[in-house]
Chains A and B, each alone.
Chain A
């Protein structure tokens, strides 16, 4: 007996689309051994999730179908199984958890029912015994007060809790293999740490194998024993985790590492993977990565690379071709440096005690019963040609703060001083004249452009509204020039947004903001919807624009590595207030606030040596409608004292720039 649990051989899953047959999974082979964690790594659209669904035979029909290959579970090919034969496998031998815990649970059944269903399906436990088992399961996934939770509905739980429930459902059948499809992508980083930790703990207890599907190298580094890198429907490299992180071999994997932003890369341009994943509807006559590869030679174009003994799919490692590559210099070797802007000390914009509250009405007469205090007294100052990063988890109010600052939302109180005037006190028409200076870029490049307008019109809209360029001729000239500035061909003006990829769209959005010559751009998570390689392109562009045009950015993000790479100053937000701010070095290297410390420790890192001990945060972010008394953070804080319970802490200054709101550092 080998210890191989699951053997996937040449799996092929095709989709029938209007544009032809889409080969989502095109000959994937890998093994999963008993008790190990095997990570399938790749960017969106490379076929990772479809591979997982194919193993379970849950490919959405009738559009998709598994057309070839074997999936051997203990030596039996489950692809040959009928639907009825497959059922005892699902949930019992192989269980699965999904990316979106919010939608993956049935909203009208209690969570107890949903777990018990699996218990009934795969065990002989019934009634009280089954209920007892469900409560055990809830307990084992770290749900506090499981007996009460048994009768609750999914919507009463937070996202992290729901993912725990999903794990409990998966565990109910005591599976040998758990497929976790991006299990933490929809979760915040502190919750992600909890869930990953839970998975590890359960694996240690039960000895099940995990197939972890993710795009996040950090998660892979923390979890996986072995890694398979997927690209365009194929596996391009297989390695055990340690070797992989030491020396990634496939050019794609290499590039993935290089394009990660981070501390060490400040001042350099990030490596970018040019172009995008080729459409999988075509037949390939060469390597699928050839268009984006720095090493590519003629042979890569003409010959399909085979799977090599050395567990990699690349001509560079093929003995036939190795010589060829050795004789050729790398096309694009020199690491570009990027001009970082020289931040001036002049103040551009000052935010004082900004509050954005949303009223809540309740009762018979819809009386005002409270406020959602999304932003509750935020003070910031942004200097010229500076990047201030506003960091926090979802729901902390960072986006609301950004929009409130631009007067895109009604501001409850506070001042935003720009050029000596308070924006909050301006009339709508006066504000209109100021808008050219303050612009915004949104998170979702797919939703931030009117799909019915031409790119040229989209970019020109601001110029017309702000009366910046008078004639049509000049406008079109300027539009073209802007497009070139953001690295898009000038003839894009006559095309529609849907013809562009996510990264290209984000470039168009940047061009649109630039069109009115802004001084400050609020960047609202501009790269979080993009793949790592594309993120690098956008970050590079933003940096070079900053130095060229002396722009200031308010960079709203939850991604710490982007902050490390890009920002000059950081403000950490928790529940509508800034708990710590200072320069990047100060905040990220010597964080003072317990929340900042926990947040930073939870970020998964690639290099195992730099991984800090994760500070586990208890529970979830409280509701901004009735924040905890005293320090908002105290219910989750490991250092909480009586005073934290009673009073909101005063600001403590560590340096001119570094300020923290925490009782730990209070003078007396």
Chain B
């Protein structure tokens, strides 16, 4: 693996420089997480509307009852105390309960997250599968009509309002052609208990005929929509990284040695060009989660993006607060992983 990729993976023992790098990143991460939790906490306190009144719904509430619920939820105590309690609860895994579903926020998150993850992974798979080859070929044929077409298309994709793009695809593929369903993750005809939470895998495991096809046909349009902007970014980034690498001396040397163009580009150039591309891919995770808000709303995809939008409209304070915190936490961890991976594959950053 290490040889075929040509990436010099270090043996398990971690160099001091790498260790310092990791510790440095962690030292930034912890205060950032605390800051994120303060912001998430503060939002809810300044949001208009009163969660206690909201819980009572249309009914009129006696002042004593109001006091009681308020005390029960801890809203009557000073803000710093409330925050400290919240942070303690969070660190012990208690993210509060949703006002709407009455279930723990973390449970709701864990139920819905696989849907978003499945969608994001498929979207990213599409983006990488098309984006990297497109960028490589555009770089090799620099200045050609092919290059201009690819880069023009990439810029259109990059400028795309994806909520409109989703609606257009629905008009074409669901409306006019009738190929794909409009919303949801699978047809109502199929029911099976979630095993992995990934509909594609679960539908295969269920053994029901047609279930996998149904899941796939539900997944394809949202994946295209969510993958559009990452695809454009990856194609552009791959092209520019490739162009930079192709002008390096070692590529000229490899060419001069008489290596086939395929070897020069596929092995010598691409493996170095991919280093910045991997960072780009990692940074797209945050972009994807933002895109999931729109994509899931359009396709009624039961994931965390739609969950957050619904919670904002229902003023489900605990969900907004902890949802923000969990999502930001996930993005921070992904970014940390990207940084570490970058340090691992690019020895220059360690020294």
Q: Do A and B bind each other?
A: no
Q: Which residues of B contact A (CB under 8 A)?
A: none
Q: Which residues of A contact B (CB under 8 A)?
A: none
